Amino acid sequence: MKILKIIVVVLFCGTLLLLANNQKKGVFDIQLGDERIKVWIVESEKERSRGLSGIEEMSVDGMLFVFQEETIPLFWMKEMNFPIDIIWINSQREVVEITDNIYPETYPEIFSPLAAVQYVIEVDAGWCKEHKIKKGDKLIL
pLDDT per 10-residue tile (average), the chain, 141 residues: 40 35 66 96 76 78 95 95 97 98 97 97 97 97 90
Whether 101 maps to a domain, the answer reads: yes
Burial of 92 per CB tally in 10 Å (0-12, 13-18, 19+):
exposed
Whether 37 maps to a domain, the answer reads: yes
pTM of the model: 0.78
Query: What is the CATH number for 48?
Result: 2.60.120.1140
Structural domain span for residue 136: 27-140
Whether 7 maps to a domain, the answer reads: no
pLDDT at 1: 53
Whether 1 maps to a domain, the answer reads: no
Whether 122 maps to a domain, the answer reads: yes
pLDDT at 64: 96
At 83, phi and psi to the nearest 5?
-75, 155
pLDDT at 137: 98
> What is the count of structural domains for the chain?
1
Contacts of 11 (CB under 8 A, 6+ apart): none
Whether 20 maps to a domain, the answer reads: no
pLDDT at 39: 97
pLDDT at 24: 39
